[in-house]
Amino acid sequence: MTAAAEPHRAGAVRDRTAGDAAVETIQREMTIFARRARASAGRMHPELSLVSYTLLGHLEESGRCRATDLAAHYALDKSTVSRQVSALERAGLVERRPDPDDLRVQVLHLTAAGRRILAEVTERRRAAFRERLADWSEEDLKRFATYLTRYNAWYGRSQDGS
């Protein structure tokens, strides 16, 4: 039961290499980050939850898209997306236009207000990150960015997300 007694630290699991220890640390720190992110996901902006922010961001990158695309891309139920989009529309941040080619489809567009809010929130987040990372060297920043990108890239292949 030694492994069970201290799984968060350097649990004595036979022949573990330094790489294993690093993986352990990465797991722990990612868990910490995930928990904190979860806790604050709802209040990143009075008007924009993490999900809304993501949807808005996607909308801006793609210019236009359907609700179903968002649902598929972010592994959300279409009903969830539908309600989120409704809320965003009520807030005047997105617009639903019927697609002349397929009347079932509602093409989503960012409104000017949506673009503005999105830019605002993005800027606030950017400032927060800049502050957090203020004392990092440029070299460390670049490497950290690379690692994160590489880490996230595996999601294209697998499904999980812890």
**How far is the C-alpha of 54 from the C-alpha of 5, rounded, in Å?**
39
**How far is the C-alpha of 95 from the C-alpha of 87, rounded, in Å?**
11
Among the listed residues 14, 15, 39, 101, the single contact to its own copies using CB under 8 A: 39
Alpha-helical regions (H) of the chain? 2-5, 18-40, 50-62, 67-74, 78-90, 112-132, 138-153
- Closest separation between CB of residue 101 and its own copies, Å? 26
Token pair listed for 150? 């590489």
Site for DNA in 66-105 (CB under 7 A): 66-69, 75-80, 82-87, 96, 102-105
Strand partners, 97: 107
154: DSSP letter: G
- Closest separation between CB of residue 158 and DNA, Å? 17
Site for its own copies in 72-101 (CB under 8 A): 74-76
Among the listed residues 68, 82, 111, 122, the single contact to its own copies using CB under 8 A: 122
Among the listed residues 31, 79, 97, 113, the single contact to its own copies using CB under 8 A: 31
| Look-up of token digits 């008007």 | 47
Distances (CA, A) of 5 to 2, 8, 25, 118, 153: 5, 9, 17, 46, 33
Site for DNA in 26-65 (CB under 7 A): 38-39, 42, 49, 51-52
Among the listed residues 12, 72, 113, 148, the single contact to its own copies using CB under 8 A: 148
Binds 102: which of its own copies, DNA, none (CB < 5-8 Å by kind): DNA
SS3 content of the chain, % helix, strand, coil (to 5): 60, 10, 30
Among the listed residues 72, 88, 145, 156, the single contact to its own copies using CB under 8 A: 145
Footprint of DNA (CB under 7 A): 38-39, 42, 49, 51-52, 66-69, 75-80, 82-87, 96, 102-106
